[in-house]
Structure 1
Amino acid sequence: MKISAEMYKLLIERTLDGFSVIELRDEFIVIKDSLIDPDEAYKKVYRQILRFIKKGWLNGEGSGRQKRYFQTDTFKALHAEPKSENVDIEIVLNQDYSVLVSERNQYKGELEIVLGEIDEYQSLNIRFPELEPKLITLLDEAKERSACLLGKVNGLTNVLKVLSGQKIVHQKFKTKALLFERT
């Protein structure tokens, strides 16, 4: 049978028996070795005591502040193991990363403009084939800019996902710029 790590330490390792809620709370605070709020500690141990009484592991004698709790023979016969303790992980981001969202949106806008440019160069190339030698250079430059901008958008998107705790899924993106061939 598994019981909370705290109750295991208190009742089995420290062999507390015949205790009051206040005594158990104080011991709980000691084993937690932290700045835990005494009221919260009281609530936690009291809930555990009620659970143990319901299972027949503890008996209460007396009333009010004089009430004491004793381990039952059932509890003493248990082969109890502690549950693994929950580890509280607190991640504090001291910096405002909203600037990254703004940068990504800016690059997305620039990428849309460059893709429009590429469309226009290709349209002009079809309408005016004699301009092809001049348009090829402009088209190649626009393709390079679109690839660079797409890299920036993807990089910022991945960083923002990491910051928000999302799993990064590598996706293959095809832009209009990379699908066009020279004619």
Structure 2
Amino acid sequence: MSKISIKINAQLNTILQDENFDNFHVTQLRDAYLANSSVSQDLVQARKYIYRQILRLVKKGLLLKKGTKNSKRVVYQKSELFYKTNFICQSTTEDKVNRAKAVTVGTNTAVQQLEKRLKESEVDLLTSIGESEEYMRLYQSFPEMKTHLESQYLQARENSSKLLGQIKAIKSVLAHQQK
């Protein structure tokens, strides 16, 4: 007899595959599911979702229902078929929504960091330009210090050029991110 395959939520699969997780109530599975979930969910909605998944597994013969009908004492137990089943994990819509949100949040964070970096680079550029202008004024006031002031002036100009390149690169990346 070949293994049967069934699609199942990845989080539920992780919980149910645990050897110690057997003979459980709906609320126990719901609580474990919520504990593993990165999404905050309504308890009632989560219980309904879990209950639907349990019923599906009971109908397929993977879980056995122990206890009286419509009782809060109903316990679910893994059947022999459960251990012979090939589970195909799939992510839920909520997982997909969360991943999309995470990408958006990550992009927003990146944009914020780039904007902060851009402002810092622009301030550094203005500082460097002011420094090079001051070296020019000092040279005019103190020509005897020409060698020292000239090397400082050239270093400040080189720094300004590097900062201008950084600003262009950051603006280019920001323009791409904001499309």
Structure number having the greater helix percentage:
2
- Shorter chain as denominator, the TM-score bin is 0.3 to 0.5
* Greater radius of gyration (CA): 1
After TM superposition, the score normalised by the length of structure 1 is: 0.46
After TM superposition, the score normalised by the length of structure 2 is: 0.47
